[in-house]
Amino acid sequence: MITKSVVKDIQSLTGKKYRDQAGLFLAEGSKLVEELLRDRPHAIKKIFALENWIEHNKIIDPAIQLTRVTTAELKRLSQLITPHEVVAVVAKFPQIPLRQGNGLTVVCCGIQDPGNFGTILRTADWFGVNQIVCSPDTVDVYNPKVVQATMGSIARLAVHFLEIEPWLKKQQLPIYAAVLDGKPLYEIARSRQGILLIGNEAKGVPASLLTTNNITGVTIPKVGGAESLNVAVATGILLSWFS
Amino acid sequence: MITKSVVKDIQSLTGKKYRDQAGLFLAEGSKLVEELLRDRPHAIKKIFALENWIEHNKIIDPAIQLTRVTTAELKRLSQLITPHEVVAVVAKFPQIPLRQGNGLTVVCCGIQDPGNFGTILRTADWFGVNQIVCSPDTVDVYNPKVVQATMGSIARLAVHFLEIEPWLKKQQLPIYAAVLDGKPLYEIARSRQGILLIGNEAKGVPASLLTTNNITGVTIPKVGGAESLNVAVATGILLSWFS
């Protein structure tokens, strides 16, 4: 039986303020929850699931509070139009220190759409980029729609929110910024050492960052008519080149 | 003044059945409507817009029925949470014949998410691919969320819905299918002549198509942990390679 107070607690986690206070976030859907169980088992605090899912997954960890729910109850807990078998309450991951000086880092400057941001994280994970730096005005990484769009990649990434400009000035690696009037991507030497700046959906990378030392504006050559590419698609194409 | 009957007419166009009957679809937002006015001016039948937008755009074509609306009225007409200045009723574009035998064609096999499908169309347009073939179970191209996600590219593309298998058998160009266990993308010769098959978000390209003559399964090499890439991101990476 799901009480009103349980529903209220879960719903409150759709807001950043409550997520920050509680140090918790929501994860929905079998695929996502099963990836979290595999990659971050100790982070999972509560699971609300249909009988079928429980039978199939055999959760034995006594630290996880497991509640069997009906389809109607799940609907009350879910943020999705069509709920997917299971909703979990998960502890935010501990911050690990920022790694300096090697590998690829993706920097998100003010990404606003949760679906785009989640897809960028999933794409970074595919290409083995596990460090993401975000400006403070980027959408919260624990927003339920972001978590959903990462498809589990959130469990494998270190995501840091910080002021980009002072941080960028201290970096030694080459810096690339996705812009509409830069050097054609295919003229850039491929390298898995560098920092890739991705800008806001409408405004792009802030002009103030484009004057940083050691920065190169990079453009994906256009053949047809579209004014721009979706930001997650552009990130995929850039990472595919650098990887 | 917007009557209830006008609101009802507009709302009905969110359903495929009514769009097919009326031969009309909805387009929302200044950017999208302005691109349609430029690229498909005769397709626009009605515009409902805020005073500001009307002043800025100076519509003089008497064939377009222009209605000034308040923010509150626009909200009643809009499918978006935050309406964007203008909603237009647009005539579906006339079908042009399928082009055979040259250039790149993207084939969508059962893409379900309107945002993904619209983003695929926008990406194809960026890379100068203007012919898209879709299986009948792909989401409707005139679905408002698809139209929105194309960001105007819908006006520049020829999108055909047909049974893929018999059509594919008649093609002479090399066929590539996006799969998880194919030949690494970067081993495929770059060419702007070919047919690229993109599969459903969960199920991929149907197995029945993968036995077609002249087909090569292609995979974007994975470095990290994600199980898959978003289908629109994958399409962007593939088209970037072939272009």
Give the Cα separation of B106 and A135 in Å (integer): 36
Q: Reduced to 3 states, what is the DSSP secondary structure of residue B175?
A: strand
* pLDDT for the residue numbered B100: 80
Alpha-carbon distances, residue A149 vs A28, A118, A143, A154, A155 (angstroms): 11, 4, 10, 9, 12
Is the pLDDT assigned to residue A79 strictly greater than 90? no
Nearest to A151 among B152, B224, B227 (CB): B227
Residues 6+ away with beta carbon under 8 Å from A69: A2, A48, A49, A50, A77
* pLDDT for the residue numbered B48: 96
Best of A230, A231, A243 to substitute, by most chain B Cβ atoms within 10 angstroms, is A230
Domains of chain A: 4-91 (3.30.1330.30), 104-242 (3.40.1280.10)
> Quick check: A152 contacting B, CB < 8 Å?
yes
Average of per-residue pLDDT across A73-89:
89
For strands B131-134 and B44-49, give the pairing.
Answer: unpaired
Give the Cα separation of B180 and B227 in Å (integer): 9
Q: Report the amino acid identity of residue B73.
A: E
Task: Identify whether the C-beta of residue B205 lies closer than 8 Å to the C-beta of residue B198.
Answer: yes
Across the interface, do B226 and A123 touch by the CB < 8 Å criterion? Answer: yes
CA distance A82 to chain B (A): 13
Best of A34, A131, A237, A241 to substitute, by most chain B Cβ atoms within 10 angstroms, is A237
* pLDDT for the residue numbered A83: 80
For the ranges A35-49, A216-230, B89-103, the lowest mean pLDDT is seen at: B89-103
* pLDDT for the residue numbered A100: 80
Pick out chain B residues at pLDDT < 70.
Answer: none
ipTM above 0.85, yes or no: yes
Handedness of CA A47, A50, A56, A58 (dihedral sign): positive
Choose among B82, B75, B85: nearest CA to B29: B85
In tens, the pLDDT along A161-188 reads: 999 999 999 999 999 999 999 999 999 9
> Quick check: B126 contacting A, CB < 8 Å?
yes
* pLDDT for the residue numbered B9: 94
> Quick check: B115 contacting A, CB < 8 Å?
yes
DSSP letters, A96-152, are PPPP-SSSEEEEEES---HHHHHHHHHHHHHTT--EEEE-TTSPPTTSHHHHHHHTT
In tens, the pLDDT along A118-137 reads: 999 999 999 999 899 999 99
> Quick check: A225 contacting B, CB < 8 Å?
yes
* pLDDT for the residue numbered B69: 95
In tens, the pLDDT along A136-154 reads: 999 999 999 999 999 999 9
